[in-house]
Amino acid sequence: MSRFVVKTRADSPELRKAAMAIEQAAWGALGFLNFTRAHFAFYQDLLEEHADCQLCLVDEVTGYPVAVGNCVPLSCDLNNLPPEGWDWIVESAANNGDKPRNALGALAISVPGIHRSKGLARRMIEEFRNLAAAKGLDGVIAPVRPSEKHKHPFVPLEEYLNWTDDRGRLYDPWLRSHSAAGGKIVKPAPRSMVVEEPIAFWEMWSGREFTETGEYAVEGALAPVAIDRNLGVGKYIEPNVWFAYAA
């Protein structure tokens, strides 16, 4: 990977635009996650405030990023993480106040389809750790999104975490990558992201009608969406897995 160099969104307006385009393209199919309260209220402002923490792995030949990693500094107890995850990192970082920031909270790694399966996502994990060390922080925390859990939305996360492959490793490839990169599973984050929107919102995303109250699988979602016809809303609670990395 000698042809790749790490830069940040703070380095140039062009790199900022390219990074935003990569992130939007990578997560477009899961756009409903943009509607958590924390994302709507704080996310973009946090990325601008901490532009030096928004990493871009740039191909020196083309000058264009091939992977993007978003993280923010915050104050937290690495040994006492809450049941909330992604939303909690964003809210905590935005409302950190004067408390010393002692860790990086990893929020996303985005790799264009053409560059996947090349080890670039794991490289970005390593760069999060390098950044934490460079800033003199204690480490990195990450609410990791199990990449294959969407295929098993009705399986409880705790059960899913016990699954292994034929080599006895963690079944989920993204959890496995974090583990192989030196991350330690701390605990589940069963309420990592919460999206509560009108039923019409979920019908738009799923392309189907929800005529009865109940739990429904939605493409890309890691758990079912709870539809309540009486209230006219659907609530999605995404489970992630807390990982911690020493700097």
150 pLDDT higher than 80: yes
58-78 exposure pattern, b = at least 16 Cβ within 10 A, e = fewer: beeeeeebbbbbbbbbbebeb
Gap between the Cα atoms of 104 and 26, Å rounded: 22
Same domain, 61 and 179: yes
Distances (CA, A) of 76 to 121, 142, 168, 177, 226: 25, 12, 33, 24, 31
Q: What is the mean pLDDT of residues 192-217?
A: 96
The amino acid that residue 157 corresponds to is L
Is the pTM higher than 0.85? yes
26 pLDDT higher than 60: yes
Write down the pLDDT at residue 194. Answer: 98
Same domain, 9 and 89: yes
Same domain, 180 and 160: yes
Domain extent at residue 226:
196-234
Same domain, 203 and 146: no
List, in order, residues 6 or more apart from 78 with CB less than 8 Å away: 103, 138, 139, 141, 186, 244
Tokens of 246: 């020493």
Contact present, 163 and 188 (Cβ < 8 Å): no
Q: What is the mean pLDDT of residues 129-151?
A: 97
Write down the pLDDT at residue 2. Answer: 58
Write down the pLDDT at residue 226. Answer: 98
Contact present, 151 and 218 (Cβ < 8 Å): no
Same domain, 118 and 208: no
Q: In total, how many domains does the chain have?
A: 2
